[in-house]
Amino acid sequence: MNVTSHGESTLDEIEKLELDFFEVLSAPIPRIVWKENRRYQNSKFLKFVENANKQKVIKRMINKITGIPDVNYAKMWHVLILSAFPEKIKDSVIALGDDIICFSDRDDKITPSFIQKYKIDYIICFGYGRILSQDIIKIVPCINIHGGYLPQNRGPNPNLWSWINGTKKGVSIHYIDKGIDTGDIIVQKEIEFREPITLQSSFDQIVNECTELFASEWPNIRSGMSTRTRQIGKGTFHTMQSQEKLTELLENGGLDMPISEFCQKAKTILAQ
């Protein structure tokens, strides 16, 4: 990728063609894309597609654009589950005939040598408090089950911040990339909460919704039939330090008080 003198990114012509080609390949009905967008009818693009087919580089281009390592969907997988509650999702993985290894963020850090030693084919994160290194996500596909409606409330405790900031509430499953909760969306669901609502009851419902969403989508992911959508918009991001002021409130009844009362107190504390 080139950078202009003004600091703006520009794509090389070949990269533009690759992106166009990927859009066609990933469309639900490629013929509609071809028919309705005239830029796919120009001679350069048609020649590019012809050469790509001859050289059998379609897979290489997709991997280059998405950054996802190659996956063999035909064999049995060794799936690494990194989670505070692996019991919520492990049965869905085992049901399709794959082996699992479960770790939490209290266990040793995951390294490339660990991935190679145990021949890990796929990583699923769910309530995992550590950030996977680039060395990991470059060699094995990784997804995250996130308790928020991305791109809002990236980072830890998305449910907490969705209430305080009044943002959309839901759950998302996404690919892990070099950012924090910035990877392409596989599937997400907006949630309506059951009354009476407390921070604890809403968290419990979020965990259950994550579990159900994963159970329904995992067969698509496992078979290579899942979709992916780039996150749109800047979104919001929080860290553990962001909620330090709320520690006393959370430890002294905040989890179980009515959500409206909690939000009012939390906003007052954060404004100080």
pLDDT tens-place string over residues 96-148 = 999 999 998 878 889 999 999 999 999 999 999 899 999 999 999 999 999 99
Q: Are 209 and 101 in the same domain?
A: yes
Looking at residue 161, which CATH number applies to its domain?
A: 3.40.50.170
Q: Are 129 and 263 in the same domain?
A: no
73-94: pLDDT as tens digits: 778 999 999 999 999 999 999 9
Strands 170-175 and 142-146: antiparallel
In a domain, 235, yes or no: no
Per DSSP, the three-state class of 120 is coil
pLDDT at res. 228: 86
Q: Are 181 and 246 in the same domain?
A: no
pLDDT at res. 40: 55
Provide the residue range defining the domain that includes 180: 78-223
Residue with tokens 């990583």: 123
Range list of H helices, the chain: 13-26, 30-36, 43-55, 58-66, 90-94, 112-117, 134-137, 158-165, 199-223, 247-249, 259-271
Mean pLDDT of the chain: 83
Q: Are 171 and 93 in the same domain?
A: yes
pLDDT at residue 260 is higher than 80: yes
pLDDT at res. 258: 97
In a domain, 28, yes or no: yes
Q: Provide the domain count of the chain.
A: 3
Q: What is the dihedral of CA 145, 206, 225, 72, to 10 degrees?
A: 30
The answer to whether the CB of 138 falls within 8 A of the CB of 152 is no
State the Cα–Cα distance between residues 58 and 99, nearest whole angstrom. 30
Q: Are 82 and 39 in the same domain?
A: no
pLDDT at res. 53: 57
158-195: pLDDT as tens digits: 999 999 999 999 999 999 999 999 999 999 999 999 88
pLDDT at residue 1 is higher than 50: no
pLDDT at res. 46: 65
pLDDT at res. 72: 73
pLDDT at residue 248 is higher than 90: yes
pLDDT band (50, 70, 90) for residue 44:
low
In a domain, 234, yes or no: no
Per DSSP, the three-state class of 141 is coil
- Which of 37, 59, 47 lies closest to 17 in space, CA to CA? 47
In a domain, 71, yes or no: no
Share of the chain above pLDDT 90, in %: 63
CA distances from 150 to 11, 181, 214 (A): 27, 8, 16
pLDDT at res. 3: 33
pLDDT at res. 108: 81
Q: Are 160 and 203 in the same domain?
A: yes
Q: Are 55 and 83 in the same domain?
A: no
Q: Are 191 and 89 in the same domain?
A: yes
Share of the chain above pLDDT 70, in %: 74
In a domain, 229, yes or no: no
State the Cα–Cα distance between residues 252 and 61, nearest whole angstrom. 54
State the Cα–Cα distance between residues 111 and 113, nearest whole angstrom. 5
Q: Are 128 and 207 in the same domain?
A: yes
Q: Are 213 and 125 in the same domain?
A: yes
Q: Are 62 and 92 in the same domain?
A: no
Q: Are 138 and 43 in the same domain?
A: no
